[in-house]
Amino acid sequence: MTEKQAVRLAAVGDLHVKKASQGTLSPLLAPVNDQADVLLLCGDLTDYGLPEEATILAKELSVVRIPMIAVLGNHDFESGQEAEVTRILCEAGVKVLDGEATEIDGVGFAGAKGFPGGFGRGTLGGWGEPGVKRFVQEAIDEVSKLESALARLRTSRRVAVLHYAPIRATVEGEPVEIFPYLGTSRLEEPLNRHPVDVVFHGHAHHGCVEGRTSGGTPVYNVAMPLLMRTFSDRPPFRVVELEAKTAG
């Protein structure tokens, strides 16, 4: 597969497309064709996870002429029709990742939804009631998906795509009481074991646009409401350029 010297990544999440969203998103996304080589969609693409919403989203994405990669978010699961949402997006040319990896222009992408659970010392442990253990196991299962996808990457440049935050820094700005619902440090562990160049996530609409893992990897919160407030003079997606790595 051809490897470009520089690959421009545009990322945005939390589109929350509703039945009334037709015609509102495509003007915002159209500039991406000139500004990036790949568009990453970081979950909560629909508002209630309905096929009707996914169909509207697919129409809105028809203006995008560059490759698209996505993960689903919690809203996309709300109606229990995430498989149909995924099918509709795939038919629209979106590569939906759920513990898988893919490669474009010499850049490897690993994607998973992630899960909540808290950060650092506040990370919920799998102890006590069965319900708590099931919750924690769900987080561990999502971490395993991410780890599996990262382990498959064979490219020199690597990107992780999530919905939930893997670090606390990018949820700062949200009410501290809801931090545990916005992501978990468990997701950071495979990112340190399988280093990537950059991580993108959404979900935290009032968080911070940028942080770093304990290993120094840049993490970008690309929730659309956050980007629209922070960069009001730009299209609502974050663009990051990855240069080709030279042999040392």
* Cβ contact 241:9 at 8 Å: yes
Q: 96: which strand partners?
A: 70
Let me know if residue 23 belongs to a domain. yes
pTM of the full structure = 0.96
Closest CA to 8 of 40, 36, 42, 39: 36
Residue 218 has a pLDDT of 98
Tell me, what CATH number does 38's domain have? 3.60.21.10
Would 43 be classed as within a structural domain? yes
Evaluate whether residue 179 is within a structural domain: yes
Residue ranges making up the domain that contains 159: 7-243
Position 1 in a domain? no
The answer to the question of residue 55 being in a domain is: yes
In a domain, 99, yes or no: yes
Tens-place pLDDT, residues 165-188:
999 999 999 999 999 999 999 999
Sheet with 198-201, strands from edge to edge, namely 100-104, 107-111, 157-161, 198-201, 218-221, 210-212
Q: Domain for residue 248, yes or no?
A: no
- Gyration radius (Cα) of the chain, Å: 17
pLDDT tens, residue by residue, 68-119: 999 999 999 999 999 999 999 999 999 999 999 999 999 999 999 999 999 9
The total number of structural domains that make up the chain: 1
Say if 180 falls within a structural domain: yes
